Structure formats: C-alpha cells, structure tokens
A and B are shown apart, each in its own frame.
Chain A
C-alpha cells in the first residue's frame, strides 16, 4: 500500500511539475530575451554638458583610453560585470564592440601601468545612484530605468 501511494504521488508530481517547469523555463527565456533586446542607453552625471557623443568618443571613454570629457573634466567610468546582460547589451548595441574586446584594452592598461580599469558596480540600480552623485561619471542603463537623476546622452 505504501508503495502504491508513493507511486501515485510520483505520478501526480510528474504531472504537476511538468507544466510548472515549462512555464518557469519560458519565463526565464522571455526574461533573458527581453533583457538581451532591451534598449540600453549611455548616461552621465547631470552636470555633464554634452547631449551627444560620437561612437568613437564613447569607445574612447569606455575603453579608458581617454580619461576626460571633451570639455576637460575628468571622466569616471562605471560598468557592470562582463557577463551582466545589461553590460553585454550596451557594449554590443551602443559601443558596437564585444565585452572581451573592452576587457582586453582594460587589461593591457591595468597590468602594464599605462592606465586603469573602470569601476565595477553590482546592479543597474547602483549604477544609477553612483552616476547621479559622482562628478564626471559615465555609464549605462536599460532605457526604461532612466529618470531625471541622470543625464541621457545620445551616441551616434
């Protein structure tokens, strides 16, 4: 009897589990698809006067080959981890580079004493907070997270 009960239970579980698992998988898939396709934008501290940047200048800032804004104030770059979907999306869409290419440039500078690496933050939320309060700062966010605490800069 005991064994019948467990078997029945298992069969139940199997039935109950499957659609749930499927739905979960679908949700994860959709979420990741949404994230990967989410529009990311370049943002800066509100005191930065620029409204637009050329792609080349954005690349120079994020690769830290240039450490200041066109008007001379020192730039402070924030990024998310290399494998963060928002980081990947920004690097692909806006800079039109691959994360490993940026990493290569940062590594060359960090480990040869010719430059530094950007500061890594742990979440888009923290990114927004830091950009809002750090003079000269630049970073990125999913477009729908941008508000008046930071400045959106168009890259063309």
Chain B
C-alpha cells in the first residue's frame, strides 16, 4: 500500500500547504490563456483549410494554470483546442501537464527534473508555438516548425533534466529528456504519403536535448537542439505498404540578436531520415535540410514589421528536386519550398494584437497532404495572404 498511500497523502496535503501560503500570498495560482482566429487566402494550393476560397479554419484557444505548492515544485498544465484545416479539428487536448522539481538551487547552479507531458525544447519558438503573441509572424517558419507534423514536433510524454549555470551576465542551460513522441494521422500522412488503414506508431523512446546560451541583457540567444524519432508501421487490410520502420533525427542550430529596434533570427536544421521495409514506394534514405533568416523591426511600442526568407529541401543532395523527378516521375517542385514572407503586426493593447502577412512561395514540400489530398492539384508557384487576431490574458 505504502508508496501509493504516501503519494495520496501528499496529494491531499498539497492544497493545505498552498492555502497556508495563500494567507500571506494571495496569488499562488496563476491562470493564463489565449484566443486566436486567423484567416488565410491563397491563390493556389491549400494551407489551413480551403484557403483557395478563403479559410477561417485556423483557431487556437488555450488556457493554462500553474501553482507552486512548495518553493521548489511547480505544477502546470495547459488545455488547447486547435483547429488547423484538415490537420487538426479543434478537439481540446492536454497541451502540457508538468511537475517540475528544482532539486538543487545554488548560487550559480540549478538543477531540476520535469515529469509529464513536456514541450520539446526545439529551436527558438517550439515551446510556445501555439501562442500567437510569441510568434514573429502569423505562422511560424514552416521550414523549421512544420505545422504538417505539429504534434510530433511539439511535445512528448516523459522525463527531462534541466541544468542551468548562472554566469556574471549570461545563462547557460542544458535540457535532456527521454519521452514518447505524440503520433497522429498527420505524421503518417507526412512520412508515408497519406493516412493509410494501418497505423504508424512509436517504436522506441525518443531522446530530446537542447543546449542554450543567452546573455542576461537579452541581446544574444544561441541554441542547439536535438530530437530523434523511431516509428513502426502496422499495415491494415489492403494497404500497399509492408510493415516498415521510420527513423529520424532532427537537429537545429539557432541564433537570435536583439537591439533596441531590431531582432534578427536565423535557424538551420537537418533531418536525417531512414524509411525501410515499406516497399519501393516509400523506402528511402536521405537528409532533409532547411533554414530561414528573419528580421523584425519595432517601429514603436505597438507596431512591428517583419520579413523572412526560408528554404526547405527533402533531400540536401537534390535541392532542385530534379533527381527525384527523374527517378519517380513526380514534379521536381514537390521536393522543396522557398518562401518570402512580409508582414506587419499591431499590438493594439498589451493583450490584443492584429497581424497581416503576405508570402510568395515556390514549391509544395511544406504543404500538408491532409489539406491537399490530390497531388495533381498542387501548383508550383503560390501566394498567400493571412490575417490574424489574438487576445491573451
């Protein structure tokens, strides 16, 4: 009985501890949330719903709560409803639910352990990717933050060790975790071409890590991120694929520089990917490669202009896609995306904002096959206009 008994007693005591504390600190609990509605219009191809006709299928609603029952223990959780075209239907899901225990906290070192559904610390933006106020533009750069496999990249169920080294004027941090990535039909569509009758499941625990360096004057941020994934496919009746395995590693290098009126960001990623056992249709081995360069300019306290150029390639040794075109008889532009995005954002109040983006795109690699089920309809050149309103508290 005993371990369970202690845990239960502990759980029952927690609110009491919180209450005793609340006598002099009324705000032990924190609640935050956000509500975002977007509109997307493309001339060709679909992004977040039937955008060729004009789509409102981009809604994000999230609420989170956190509390510190003990100085070294943080409990927090977020519920998120996300409608994103044919990719996500808005069913509320637990976005994260974390118990974080800082078991060592000294002058210049801190060590902590997190347990639960954890956000994967990838790049500059992954851990807050669904909060419009934290995004530099309406959509995150798809070259690094793939919305077509958002759940896979976003979080994992597991454990993570956090180490912080506080310097004179800088902070060095290392996160290292083990966890189970979140799988859904989008992952299957992205790696196996479509959502088959069979199922793609996680095969092994993933390793996730990020090394970060930041100056405390907030001028420089550097990060090196790593995650790997191991999945296996169980074919369903009639599926033309055999039982295969997909393995990837995702490595991202990030840098950001801030001045009074500018933020410059750049990220570069490589994704070695091996798919075997499926049959000639899918089996492959290669490395995807992508990067972006981004500039944000703060005109004043409420208006920001931004510009970004990005490129993403399925195969780093075939940027033009011609090799793949010759080998598989598919259009070369299925194999890459190059985009230029220009936009503006207006922070109407500290909690509300309005944003408008326009992007010029070439290639269809970063588009979701869930939103674009018929590849014959995909066009090489396409433009997108997007509007977004967001409120947060």
Contact = CB atoms under 8 A, between A and B. Distances in A.
B78 interface: yes
29 contacts: A56-B168, A59-B216, A60-B171, A65-B164, A68-B71, A68-B105, A70-B107, A83-B350, A97-B217, A98-B218, A104-B134, A107-B128, A107-B133, A108-B127, A110-B30, A110-B64, A110-B66, A111-B64, A111-B78, A111-B131, A112-B96, A112-B127, A112-B128, A114-B127, A116-B30, A116-B74, A119-B27, A134-B24, A135-B25
Interface stretch (A16-24, A74-82, A139-147): A74-82
B382 interface: no
B166 interface: yes
B68 interface: yes
B32 interface: yes
B169 interface: yes
Nearest to A78: B27
Contacts of B27: 76, 119
Interface string A99-123: 1110111011011111111010000
A96 interface: yes
B258 A101 contact: yes
Interface string B328-363: 000000000000000000000110000000000000
Interface residues of A, number: 37
A140 B268 CA distance: 40
Interface of A: 55-56, 59-60, 65-68, 70, 74, 76, 81-83, 96-101, 103-105, 107-108, 110-117, 119, 133-135
Contact of B96 (A56, A113, A115, A117): A113
A68 B71 CA distance: 8
Interface string B65-81: 01010010010111000
B308 interface: no
Interface in B12-33: 24-25, 27, 30, 32
Contacts of A103: 350
Contacts of B77: 113
A100 B353 CA distance: 14
Contacts, number: 100
A103 B347 CA distance: 13
A105 B118 CA distance: 18
Given A59-B216, A107-B131, A114 B100 contact: yes
A104 B221 CA distance: 12
B71 A67 contact: yes
Contacts of B114: 113-114
Of A65, A114, A116, chain B has the most CB atoms within 10 Å of the CB of: A114
B385 interface: no
A154 to B, nearest CB: 18
Nearest to A65: B171
Nearest to B130: A111
Contact of A134 (B25, B78, B162, B301): B25
Which of the listed residues B68, B133, B169, B216 has the most CB atoms from chain A within 10 Å of its own CB?
Answer: B216
